[in-house]
Copies of this chain bind each other. A is one copy, B any other.
Amino acid sequence: MSTFVVVGGDAAGMSAASKAKRDDPDLDVVVFEKGEWVSYGACGLPYYVKGEIQSLDDLVSVTPEEFREERDVDLRTGHEVVDVDPESRVVTAQSDDGELRQEYDHLLVATGAEAVTPSIEGMDREGVYTLGSMSDGRDLREYVGRARSDEDLQQPDRGPACQFLETCNGPVGIVGGGYIGVEMAEAIAANGFEVHLFQRGDRILKEFSEATSEAVLDHLRDEDVAVYLGEEVEGLAGRDRVEAVVTGDGRVPVEMVLVGTGVRPRTDLAEDAGIELGETGAIATDAYRETNVPDVYAAGDCAEAEHVVTGEPAHVPLALTANRHGRAVGKTVAGEPTEGGRVAGTAAVKAFEMEAARTGVLDHERAREAGFEPMTETIDAKSRAGYYPEGGTVRVTLTVDRPSGRVLGGSLASEYGEGAVHRSHALVGAVTEGVAVDELSNYDLAYAPPFNTTWDPVLTAAKVVDGKR
């Protein structure tokens, strides 16, 4: 009997474990997870902090008990793997009960990614949060939800932040204007806080098109979020507790700070075991997620994957890829070698009453490195028939290779509910299949007045770009 050991019990790890055991019930499947939570939807944390989801348990798609009892996976929470020895095919895990050695025939490293904590002064002050884990989410909800209650506003002992602010729902600082920063701006503002968002670069959501960034920026400002662009945060000042965000331009008083400046792959364990990293800093794998070490796989936020446009390894630490690649490893280990597909760098975000999505390569420098001659156009189009009583605007950006017309990337924004995100599905296909923009403009997309104009905004964008090539 063969043993499949998985390190890390979130999306990639648990997908692999479940699939392997289902496809090959004779396989022994052992999962080591250092924390208590497994298979949780970290993407849902902003909505938990916002207060729209009542319990952290709601974010868990499959409980540890279900994995153990229904799926027959030997899941060991509270076990941190501290060593992998590929020579003898043994991992060593530490728990409160001491050290444990486990042999494996196949190993999956699914150690995920961790929030980057920037090297700014004051990161360790009380009131400074990141959002990388379920317990981070719990702490934030406790703070944000507590500060909201009227009862609480009367209590004088809520900490130093309250003492110099007019109201306990005082200003909050968010450092970083990526997905987390934008989603958390909504979550925190919804609880009655004034939000100040600091972005080092000259625009938020820098993975999206400039036009998308601009649309979301305008909307954040309409929603009374104070957005500071091009302002590097130099420190988080205060005595014990954070009291102000310090930038080159001055101090902004805050009672709490959320730092969301990206994530980096957790690779220490892999590196120590002689597993090679790629240029992105994540673990390098082949199309089957196998690393340079035979029978050792890596999937999810700690690993690279081939990009559909560039053909080069990319590090896109998002949930679907983790699920998909974990599942593929499970099938492979169970005896059916499975690739699990490439990545397009697709992402979606809701920001207050807007939605946005992006896919493929939008950055011209990156497109040129991959051998393309990029050009980009953006259009604003009605989301539904002009005469239809509901509707808004969909902004579509397309980046294409000028000579061939190949669609390299797309970025969309609309009012929430007006379909920017689901429309991006069409562009993922175009980017993945290498479709030229003139062919895309001839796609026979669904049309009816409650859903779009006769030419869906995606088609209009394709037509416009094609006309300018």
A456 contact from B11, B425, B446, Cβ within 8 A: B425
Contact A344 B444 (CB under 8 A): yes
A residues 347-392 touching B (CB-CB < 8 Å): 347-350, 355, 357-359, 385-389
Within 8 A of B (CB), among A309-361: 318-321, 323-324, 339-350, 355, 357-359
Query: In the docked arrangement, what's the CA distance between A422 and B422, Å?
Result: 5
Is A58 close to B, CB under 8 A?
yes
Cα distance, A47 to B451, chains bound together (Å): 13
**Is residue A281 within 8 Å, beta carbon to beta carbon, of the partner chain?**
no
The 8 Å CB contact of A53, one of B47, B349, B357, B388, is: B388
CA distance A424 to B419 in the complex (A): 12
Cα of A347 to Cα of B43 in the assembled complex, Å: 33
- The answer to whether B53 touches A451 (Cβ under 8 A) is no
Residues of A243-273 whose CB lies within 8 A of B: none
Given contacts A425-B423, A439-B341, contact A449 B387 (CB under 8 A): no
**A456: nearest chain-B partner, CB-CB:** B425
Asked if A122 is at the interface (CB within 8 A of a chain B CB), the reply is no
Q: CB-CB contacts of A443-460 with B at 8 A, as 1s and 0s?
A: 111111111101110110
Is the beta-carbon distance between B43 and A444 smaller than 8 angstroms?
no
Contacting B at CB under 8 A, from A427-450, are: 428-430, 432-433, 435, 439, 441-450
* Inter-chain contact B58/A447, CB cutoff 8 Å: no
Instruction: State whether the Cβ of A59 lies closer than 8 Å to any Cβ in chain B.
Output: yes
Q: How far does the alpha carbon of A151 sit from the alpha carbon of B372 in the complex, in Å?
A: 68
A308 interface hit (Cβ, 8 Å): yes
Given A341-B439, A428-B426, A435-B429, A388 and B444 touching (CB < 8 A)? no
In the complex, whether A192 has a CB less than 8 A from a CB of chain B is no
At the interface, yes or no: A52 with Cβ under 8 Å from chain B? yes
A41 within 8 A of B: yes
Interface residue? A404 (CB, 8 A): no
CB atoms of A444 and B432 under 8 A apart: yes
Decide if B445 touches A59 in the complex (CB within 8 Å): no
9 A-B residue pairs with CB within 8 Å: A11-B454, A43-B454, A47-B387, A52-B389, A53-B388, A58-B387, A344-B443, A424-B446, A428-B443
- Hey, which bits of chain A sit against chain B, CB under 8 A? 11, 41, 43-44, 47, 52-53, 58-59, 61, 308, 318-321, 323-324, 339-350, 355, 357-359, 385-389, 416-417, 419, 421-426, 428-430, 432-433, 435, 439, 441-452, 454-456, 458-459
